[in-house]
Structure 1
Amino acid sequence: MTRLAVFDCDGTLVDSQANICRAMEEAFLLAELPAPPRTAIRRIVGLSLVEALQALLPDAATEKHRRMAADYKDAFFRLRTSGAMAEEPLFDGIAAVIERLQTDGWLLGVATGKSDRGLAHILAHHGLADRFVTLQTADRHPSKPDPSMLLAAMAEAGATPAETAMIGDTSFDMVMAKAAGARAIGVAWGYHDQSDLVNGGADVVADRVAALPALLT
């Protein structure tokens, strides 16, 4: 039997909130708009950029959302290449969990609102590029919670919904999992509250990283 565990990236594998907030603040600065509070920015982590900006600026035109999304990407790349960004560390214990799941025979994947380039950078930086059999990003799919990313991951890995678990820190991940027919595993160390995860359809919520393998059995 094929067993597939698909991870979200930001807020699940890595703690990237400082860099996401800083790049979003720069995008708002370029648009000559006051930046939203960081609590609001963290709430949209997991969405693709245009959808995230639609949530932050619901009254703005679509073209403005697209322009600010491009400014965000430029700011993120500029900050990263200049060395101005903070490290995006793996959450404590994630590397060990990935090792454990592989040893137990799980196939692993990622479904993220990041770009291909952003995800590749993170995985290479942490030495995880060869751990995942399927990588799905915002470059090739509609934004979460549309199930497109997860459906593609299952097809690429040869797994059925019943054999698949989606692991994420936001309600968007949970709704996506349910829409794809997969198990929804929330994590409590990310950017949405446990109540958001439960309301999004989480079958269970891991309160710590080390608890994940047992919840997947």
Structure 2
Amino acid sequence: MTKVAAVMLAMAVVFPIIGQDQASAYSWTRNLQEGSNGADVKELQIRVAGWAADSASKTYVSTDGAFGPGTKAAVIRFQKAYGLTADGVVGPATQAKLNSLEASDGSTQNFNFSEFQSKDGSGFSNGNVAAATVKENVRKLMYKLEAVRKKAGNSAITVNSGFRSLSHNASVGGASNSQHTYGIAADIVVGGYTPTAVANLAKSSGFSGVIIYSTFTHVDSRVEYPSYGASSYYWP
């Protein structure tokens, strides 16, 4: 071994090479459990939001940064789904699994931001809220869809429509306050599942707007965003 190679090897031992996904992983600094409060709890709530219930239920995980019974129940469902110790405590193993669902650009393992951008080339701009807000809303939506995908046996999900700019929304006949224009809605197809079967999965995943169409299912989180103009549950 040359002297240079030996030095490089030593540096790799002292300073492990961090992969792109690892570098972007959320920095959990403590175990979280019922009674915990803070920004890390809010991030946890975003990531387990799709585990709001065991079956169809008009409920969702509040992203308020307070680890209460609802958050604990969602954590336990998440842990069971991924073969972890289902104790409701978010320790290293659960944190590692949560981070494995995170992609390096802030999206999720099975979804890309590009899938949710307006189909008229507007990206996340020109909607009813600022582009940065749309992108964060889409990120939250992705974690719910990760749960739907897991519940569907990891069947692939196709996003027919995500965010829509106001002009694109008008061109397809959408309502002026369509949840698509805020980035909190998606029209999806799940491989091997009928639109009705997808709706049933969505109803346990924290979605409050669920509409069944002939070839796809619309899902949104309207109840969590009352300022967006549609605050009541809409289920078939």
**TM-score category, normalised to shorter length:** under 0.3
Which of the pair has more CA radius of gyration?
2
Query: Higher relative contact order by CA 8 Å / sep ≥ 6: 1 or 2?
Result: 1
TM-score by length of 2: 0.26
| Structure with a larger share of its residues in helix | 1
